[in-house]
Every structure is written in structure tokens, then in C-alpha cells.
Amino acid sequence: MRKWLFLSLAIVGAMTLNGCDQLDDKKVPSAPVLQAEIPQTPGDKKVAHSEILDKTGESDVREINWDTLIPDDWRPETLMEQYNANELSDDDPRAQQLLEKLKALWSQAPIVPALEGERVKLPGFVVPLEMDTKKMAQFLLVPYYGACIHVPPPPANQTVHVLTREGTAFNGRLFDTVWVTGTMRVEHLSSELAEAGYRLEDASVTPYNE
């Protein structure tokens, strides 16, 4: 995943301003504030567009990584460079300006229209849309541990709304690491947790280590 993304999130998280602050009173598992993306996994490698055989038995599934969801010409790092983000302190007025611009940029992050209708397989972390449930017919898939709970949410083009196949709700917990295979829809979802730029429907979910 692009390294500027984690730099941006680290800065925003350090400022400790909203993101997902409405969940601060929820009981969630303790965890480091920020961890790197899933290390050395097929999801972190550039995968050819050729067909692969997925564990679900589907032969037309393309394994993708999170960079696949970002348009090549989207460069939020230029905003960080404009503000010299590495040199900002929490009480610098420019830090608040940068935060507001990043929040707007994150919610309006562009998507990749060509992904519409593709059957894809993507690894990530589970964020339930309802914190008090373990059986999930839908949830958010995010690329790093802690998103929406310990640190602010990713950009909309790095957040996927997952709808599981009928009768196959995912039985799991917050931040479970999974593979999700489903049909990609380029559709926006606005929730209390985050803005999602994509939806994976008719999805099957398997543990990441399988």
C-alpha cells in the first residue's frame, strides 16, 4: 500500500480529532494505535489480471490488493507536502486546516469505475457496522488494524462495504483478518463509522490464514 497513506493517517490520528469518536464509549479490544498493513501477503503484491482459481471454486475471481482501488492519478500526498505535515505541532493552526482538508479529501476520494461488476478477492480487517453483534450479514472491510476505532477511518476508496451471500452471515469479531470474495460494485455508502467507496456483494468470507 502507498506509504503516504499511513503517514497521513498517523498525523490525523495524532491530532486525535473525531474520525470515529462516537464509538469511544464502546468496549473494544485493546490494540496498538497503528500497525502496518497485512505483511507479505498476496493482497500486497501486484497480481496479474489473468484468471485464478479461488478457494470458493470460482475460476473468474481476480485477487487484488488495496492499491487496485486507488486511481493512479490520485495524489493526496501533495497536500501533505504543501503543509509540511512532518513539521506541524498539534497547536499549529495549520494542523487544523490540514485536518479539515484531509477529512474532505478522504470522504470524496475517487474510485476506479473499471472495477464495477468484477468478481474479486481482497484481504483486510473486519469492522462491524453494529458493535454488539458477532453474526454479520454486512460489515466494513479496511486495510489496516484499528481503523474507525483506534485511529480515524481510511479514505472512501480504501473502505469496502461487504454484503455476505444470503444465508452465510460472517460469524466473527472486530478486526478479524479475512479474505472476502464477491462482486465489486462502485457504490458509495455513508455510515457513522466511515465513508465507503465500494461494495462487495454476494460475498463469501474466509479466515486470512486458510
- Write down the mean pLDDT value for the chain: 77
Higher pLDDT, residue 32 or 8:
8
- Place 108 in a pLDDT band, splitting at 50, 70 and 90: confident
More confident residue, 37 or 204: 204
What pLDDT is attached to residue 1? Answer: 55
Give the global pTM.
0.73
φ, ψ of residue 142 in degrees (nearest 5): -130, 160
* Residue 13 pLDDT > 80: no
Give mean pLDDT, residues 180-207: 96
Q: What is the rounded CA–CA span in Å between residue 122 and residue 181?
A: 7
Give DSSP secondary structure letters for 2-22: -HHHHHHHHHHHHHT--SSGG
**Confidence bin at 5 (pLDDT 50/70/90):** low
> 95 or 128: which carries more pLDDT confidence?
128
Virtual CA dihedral for 46, 142, 30, 192, nearest 10 degrees?
170
- What is the mean predicted confidence (pLDDT) over 153-177? 95
Which of 131, 130, 156 lies closest to 29, judged by CA?
A: 131
| Cβ proximity of 82 and 207 under 8 Å | no
Separation CA 65–CA 47 (nearest Å): 8
pLDDT at 48: 37
What are the pLDDT digits (tens) for 32-87?
333 334 433 334 444 333 333 445 556 689 999 999 999 999 988 777 777 777 77
Helices (H) and strands (E) in the chain, counts: 3, 10
Q: What grid cell was written down for 195?
A: 465513508
| For the ranges 20-24, 85-89, 101-105, 183-187, the one whose mean pLDDT is highest | 183-187
